Amino acid sequence: MSSLLNIVKQGFGLGAVAVSGGVHPPDHKHESTTQAVGQLPLPHQLTLPLRQHVGNLPKVLVKVGDYVLKGQLLAEAEGNISAAIHAPSSGTITSIEDALIPHPSGLPDRCITIALDGKDEWIAHAPIDWRKLETEQDKSKLLEGLRSSGIVGLGGAAFPTQVKLRTNAKSSVDTLVLNAAECEPYITCDDMLMRERADQILKGLEIAQHLLGAKQCLIGIEDNKPEAAEAMRHACANSLLSKLVPLKVVVVPTQYPSGDARQLIRLLTGIEVPADKRSTDVGLQCFNVATVLALHRYFDFGEPSISRIVTITGNVQKPANYEVLFGTSVADLVQAGGGALADTDGYIMGGPMMGFNLPSVSVPITKASNCVIASAPNLFPSAPPAMPCIRCARCADVCPVSLQPQELYWFAKSSNLEKARDYNLFDCIECGCCTYACPSNIPLVQYYRFAKSEIIAQDRAKEAADLARERNEFRLMRIDREKQERAEKHAQKAAGAKAEAAKTEATSATEAPEDEAMAAKKAAIAAAIERAKAQKAAAAPQNVVDAIPSVQAEIAEIDARREAAKQSVTDAIATNEAQEEK
């Protein structure tokens, strides 16, 4: 209904319509936009987590003691979805071991630590000609090169960009959406980037458009960033890209979470990307502004992804934005922000709606870090104790994906995971709107995260069990087959011996033809009995009375497991049916 409305509105050129659901938290963006993007002084040491992106861990190419130059490849992308890591400055590698990383789990992970020499000496690098794109080989060569650029989505998702630039016949991109919504409160890194480097963003956008072959580009900006929108409009008007394809800056109403890629796509184009498809399946691709700027730096200068703009705000003296080398500690950034005020009780990485508490200020800034907020009780008071759900459905009203959070909460709380899945738990984008709107202060998103991880764990366990069962079945089959083969051989031998015996008997008693007939009959019967025995032996593999006890026990165990597996499958089918009936 609302999507129809959207399409109608689009059709009449009425522009963007509000997302369904969504909330309007106070945006607190002006605090950190008063001064230009600053440059942090070169730190003494950088700690680079290997896991800064979505996908496989990269393969480390250096060892402790190696001297590395700025921009040198430290770890290369491994597998399809992965991203390389480069040295953000020159220095010596002092350790490759587990250290605290900015992650909600608070657990340490593998990091490369570089002691900087302060020279900040670049490795040899050169622009890459991205315009030459006549053949498929040209393109795959460019994308292959991009694998070693280390560029990932800088909006916070940190998905390897080279993967998103791959297209094929099935998924060609018609519309390229540039995500500049920046809908989370407090965060202003994209805002400042657009104000100061709009021309460079447009150059990056041109590269993305060229690689994807997109036929139009839309830039979505929330209406609380008029300066950024103006800068982008100006840059668009002067850009080369505007002469190649239709290019439009669309100002959308400020409403969290309009910066979610699928939400923004619907806002700008009226197209709702099907839940089980990728946006490229319906001809759309979406990049963050900082990501395309990184493409520009890589292709036009040969510089890999080694730094980003990060907002330091909240309970600090001077909230602002800084260009920060990856691996710089959060403490250095806080220092640059004038230091935290006295009542600071922690640090949040990301925005207040989807961010997480940092385990320590010593953790490094990574590719996914867009903002650090010093928190204080007056900024983010701790939630009052949760009351029971009164089914007021405010959560459902604000859910941008039209889920029924109150039902999901009920299922998650009672560990009714199958039901939670049925009610589309996995469509939840964890934006936090439901919790924000809950009068009973129920930490709904936490329940969904819990339920999701439980379901994933169960699925994995089931997968493992299935695999084990398959292996076991194969093993049993093999044992059966071998036994059968043995029995057959045995039977053949026996039959051969009997036939031999019968033959001799027959020659010795030529004068008694009735006896001969009798003997032949006997031989046939004996052979039949042998065959039957062999068959029986093949059919009943557990009939191995003379096997050693340990083998017998193993066979019994295998049989029990098989029975149990069979039983569990029947049970599962039964419960499934029961649930379907429900």
Selected binder of other proteins within 350, 367, 451, 519 (CB under 8 A): 350
Judge whether 101 and 366 are in contact, CB under 8 Å: yes
What does DSSP say about strands 38-39 and 346-349: parallel, antiparallel, or unpaired?
Answer: unpaired
Report 529-548 residues binding other proteins (CB under 8 A): none
Instruction: Rule CB under 8 A: say whether 330 interacts with other proteins.
Output: no
- Site track 105-144 with other proteins (rule: CB under 8 A), x = hit: xx--------------------------------------
CA dihedral 526, 529, 531, 536 (to 10 degrees): -160
Report 445-504 residues binding other proteins (CB under 8 A): 445-446, 449
Instruction: Rule CB under 8 A: say whether 389 interacts with other proteins.
Output: yes
- Site track 205-244 with other proteins (rule: CB under 8 A), x = hit: ----------------------------------------
Question: Of the ranges 30-38, 165-173, 398-406, 539-547, which one interacts with other proteins (CB under 8 A)?
Answer: 398-406
Cis peptide before 359 (omega within 30 of 0): no
Task: Give the E-state strand segments of 42-198 in sequence order.
Answer: 45-49, 59-60, 67-68, 73-76, 85-86, 91-100, 108-116, 175-180
Distance (Å, whole) CA 553 – CA 558: 9
Q: Which is nearer to other proteins, 392 or 524 (CB)?
A: 392
Instruction: Rule CB under 8 A: say whether 402 interacts with other proteins.
Output: yes
Identify the helix (H) or strand (E) that includes residue 77.
none
Selected binder of other proteins within 165, 273, 292, 312 (CB under 8 A): 273
Q: Which is nearer to other proteins, 82 or 258 (CB)?
A: 258
Instruction: Rule CB under 8 A: say whether 401 interacts with other proteins.
Output: yes
Judge whether 99 and 123 are in contact, CB under 8 Å: no
Distance (Å, whole) CA 214 – CA 208: 8
Q: Which is nearer to other proteins, 13 or 26 (CB)?
A: 26
Q: To the nearest whole angstrom, how small is the minimum distance from the Cβ of residue 566 to other proteins?
A: 33
Q: In sequence order, which ranges of 213-314 are alpha helices (DSSP H)?
A: 226-238, 241-244, 261-269, 289-301
Residue 48, both tokens = 């680079």
Selected binder of other proteins within 342, 388, 545, 581 (CB under 8 A): 388
Q: Residue 319: which residues within 8 A CB-CB, separation 6 or more?
A: 31, 32, 34, 311, 312, 313, 337
Q: Which is nearer to other proteins, 65 or 388 (CB)?
A: 388
Residue type, 459: D
Selected binder of other proteins within 239, 322, 406, 447 (CB under 8 A): 406
Selected binder of other proteins within 5, 237, 390, 547 (CB under 8 A): 390
Distance (Å, whole) CA 268 – CA 273: 12
Judge whether 298 and 304 are in contact, CB under 8 Å: yes
Report 67-106 residues binding other proteins (CB under 8 A): 104-106
Q: What is the DSSP letter of 112?
A: E
Burial of 1 (0-12, 13-18, 19+ CB in 10 A): exposed
Q: To the nearest whole angstrom, how small is the minimum distance from the Cβ of residue 331 to other proteins?
A: 18
Question: Of the ranges 159-167, 427-435, 466-474, 532-540, which one interacts with other proteins (CB under 8 A)?
Answer: 427-435
Residue type, 271: I
Q: Which is nearer to other proteins, 210 or 262 (CB)?
A: 262
Q: Which is nearer to other proteins, 74 or 425 (CB)?
A: 425
Selected binder of other proteins within 416, 443, 501, 516 (CB under 8 A): 443
Selected binder of other proteins within 62, 438, 502, 523 (CB under 8 A): 438
Question: Of the ranges 40-48, 115-123, 356-364, 489-497, which one interacts with other proteins (CB under 8 A)?
Answer: 356-364
Selected binder of other proteins within 100, 228, 363, 396 (CB under 8 A): 396
How many residues contact other proteins, by CB under 8 A? 61
Instruction: Rule CB under 8 A: say whether 441 interacts with other proteins.
Output: yes
Judge whether 198 and 232 are in contact, CB under 8 Å: yes
From residue 55, give the alpha-carbon distance in Å to each of 20, 81, 82, 163: 31, 5, 5, 11
Distance (Å, whole) CA 146 – CA 163: 9
Selected binder of other proteins within 427, 459, 466, 470 (CB under 8 A): 427
Selected binder of other proteins within 11, 13, 385, 549 (CB under 8 A): 385
Q: To the nearest whole angstrom, how small is the minimum distance from the Cβ of residue 183 to other proteins?
A: 13
Among candidate residues 292, 283, 247, 238, the one with its CA nearest the CA of residue 265: 283
Burial of 345 (0-12, 13-18, 19+ CB in 10 A): middle
- List interacting residues with other proteins (CB under 8 A): 20, 23, 25, 104-106, 185, 262, 266, 272-276, 348, 350, 352-357, 359, 375, 380, 383-385, 387-394, 396-397, 400-404, 406-407, 423-424, 427, 432-433, 435-441, 443, 445-446, 449
